[in-house]
Amino acid sequence: MAVWCEAAGGVRGVVLDISGVLYDSGGGGGVPISGSTDAVKRIKESGLKLRFCTNETQATREKFVAKLQTMGFDIAVGEVIAPAPAACRILKERGLRPHLLVHDGLLPEFDQIDQSNPNCVIIGDAAENFSYENMNRAFQLLMQLEKPLLFSLGRGRYYKETDGLKIDVGVYMKALEYACDIQAEVVGKPANAFFLSALTSMGLEPHQAIMIGDDLVNDVGGAQQCGMKGVQVRTGKYRPSDEQHPTVKADGYVDNLAQAVDILLEHLHK
Amino acid sequence: MAVWCEAAGGVRGVVLDISGVLYDSGGGGGVPISGSTDAVKRIKESGLKLRFCTNETQATREKFVAKLQTMGFDIAVGEVIAPAPAACRILKERGLRPHLLVHDGLLPEFDQIDQSNPNCVIIGDAAENFSYENMNRAFQLLMQLEKPLLFSLGRGRYYKETDGLKIDVGVYMKALEYACDIQAEVVGKPANAFFLSALTSMGLEPHQAIMIGDDLVNDVGGAQQCGMKGVQVRTGKYRPSDEQHPTVKADGYVDNLAQAVDILLEHLHK
């Protein structure tokens, strides 16, 4: 039995990653992972608090949630913590005007943001928009700024689509960091502030919550840095080598979300 | 007077970078830098040995040299050390079959190389070929190999074209390194082996030769690592901040190649 079960009795809230945990993305919108729609339902019925913490930046939260609802998930926009709204708050607080290198589907999230005469660059999972031309435009703009400022909506290496692994925004963040000799600010997992906003919205302390994700470093490691427990599912981008990672060790490994929920509910309130 | 002048008397050979020293690349093939065609001629007339050491990987050596000749440069294919032929030697020695992510113009350099069932990836300055789709293909191939092997034809951050700075192959090397959690092997400057092959072909020891380039880290720093003197020109991608670089200090800075040759010839045989 996994070590994390011993802590399950004190858990009051669950934070779930979405892509690779609830469903695998890909052509036609993707497919739910077996048992996951029911697992979400069982968490809600148990009285545990629940938030979804995603680095998804190919669509607005509204469109993303609508897609998941169509797949049968009981999920609402207000339950989802995503990088783009967090970035908009930062831009407003700091009076910044971004140049956006993001997926077309994400653009409406920035409708209310002044993008004239940009003084920073924001990159998301732009996928096909990561052309040489667009990368050069972001690079040239950064090089023209006195203090180049790059925000990256996540720092993932890759994710799994139904037709295979795809490189993620973190890869292009590293590219621009090297090109401009700068360090990006990450908005999204594994940034502490991102997990904390999920905890705040549930009214819980870190030790009362558990994160379940398929990304060992950004989901599990990020949550642990924040004081939460972190469990990795063997779905999505999981690779067996994750269990021998040199620096990040999950509090538990489960075959999928359904198994995580089985164990969690079995030990709840014990 | 620059410190390197004192050493100029012992110099028997010169290694020149091409892009940003002889000419600025860009639309229509680029334009010679003022005084550079004459400077090359004066080096040759002086009896100094001369090699051109380039990380250019957008064209075959033959086409590249033909373009430079059209601009008025006295240069021959046999005088040019370039990454693609060096990579071909490595592939043959180690029995490797590459997947190529390079500029279309470079492909003929690999005509004699078996590219079936690839067991390594080579990237060059692919420019527009650095699409998300092509980056994913290279990434997926590397992830399928038991020991992912990536060769990068140079590790430059950016270069100057007539219409501005453009990101170079090193940026995409860093991207794939992060995506796959690997370290690339660099073929080209600043690899030691690359400078040594220029020295060998001149029959000179490192202390007898001087490198003149616009890239502080890859031209100047690389040559210095090898035991040569390194001088930076204030043309091409040069930026004033280079003169305050935290780790690399050139033996001298000159306004352009013409001035470097003025100083060199003035002190020659003194």
Boundaries of domain holding B43: 1-55+189-269
Mean pLDDT of A124-137: 98
Same domain, B177 and B107: yes
CA dist., res. A101 & res. A152, Å (int):
10
Query: What's the whole-model pTM score?
Result: 0.90
**Which of B136, B158, B178 lies closest to A157 in CB terms?**
B178
Does an H or E element contain B92, and which? helix B83-94
Q: What is the pLDDT of residue A38?
A: 98
User: Which residues in chain B touch residue A128, judged by CB atoms under 8 angstroms apart?
Assistant: 131-133
Helix (H, G, I), strand (E, B) or coil at B247: coil
Indicate whether A60 belongs to any domain.
no
Q: Which of B168, B186, B204 is the last residue of a domain?
A: B186
Q: What is the pLDDT of residue B1?
A: 45
Per-residue tokens: A162: 């139904």
Q: Which strands sit side by side in the sheet containing A98-101, from one edge to the other? A: A98-101, A120-123, A150-153, A185-187
Same domain, B91 and B171: yes
Cross-chain Cβ contact A127/B132 below 8 Å = yes
E-strand spans in chain A? 13-16, 23-24, 31-32, 49-53, 80-81, 98-101, 120-123, 150-153, 158-161, 164-167, 185-187, 209-213, 229-233, 252-254
Same domain, A182 and A194: no
With tokens 């973190």, the residue in question is: A170
CA dist., res. A270 & res. B31, Å (int):
77
**CATH number for position A41:** 3.40.50.1000
CA distances to A16, B73, B110 from B49, in Å: 66, 16, 29
Closest CA to B64 of B14, B25, B16: B25
pLDDT bin (cut points 50, 70, 90) of residue A270 is: low
CA dist., res. A84 & res. A110, Å (int):
8
Same domain, B181 and B206: no
Indicate whether B62 belongs to any domain.
no
> Which one of A142, A143, A167 would you mutate to disrupt binding with B, by most B Cβ within 10 Å of its Cβ?
A167
The per-residue pLDDT for range B217-267, each reduced to its tens digit, is 999 999 999 999 999 999 999 999 999 999 999 999 999 999 999 999 998
> Which one of B136, B143, B155, B216 would you mutate to disrupt binding with A, by most A Cβ within 10 Å of its Cβ?
B136
Closest CA to A153 of A138, A165, A170, A140: A170
Same domain, A202 and A253: yes
Give percent of chain A above pLDDT 90: 89
Indicate whether B44 belongs to any domain.
yes
Indicate whether A71 belongs to any domain.
no
Contact A12, A48 (CB under 8 A): yes
CA dist., res. A107 & res. A101, Å (int):
9
Per the structure, the count of domains in chain B is 2
The per-residue pLDDT for range A32-74, each reduced to its tens digit, is 999 999 999 999 999 999 999 999 999 999 999 999 999 999 9
pLDDT bin (cut points 50, 70, 90) of residue A1 is: very low
CA dist., res. B62 & res. B77, Å (int):
6
The per-residue pLDDT for range B26-81, each reduced to its tens digit, is 878 889 999 999 999 999 999 999 999 999 999 999 999 999 999 999 999 999 99
**Which of A127, A140, A167 lies closest to B164 in CB terms?**
A140
Same domain, B142 and B90: yes
Q: What is the pLDDT of residue A269?
A: 65
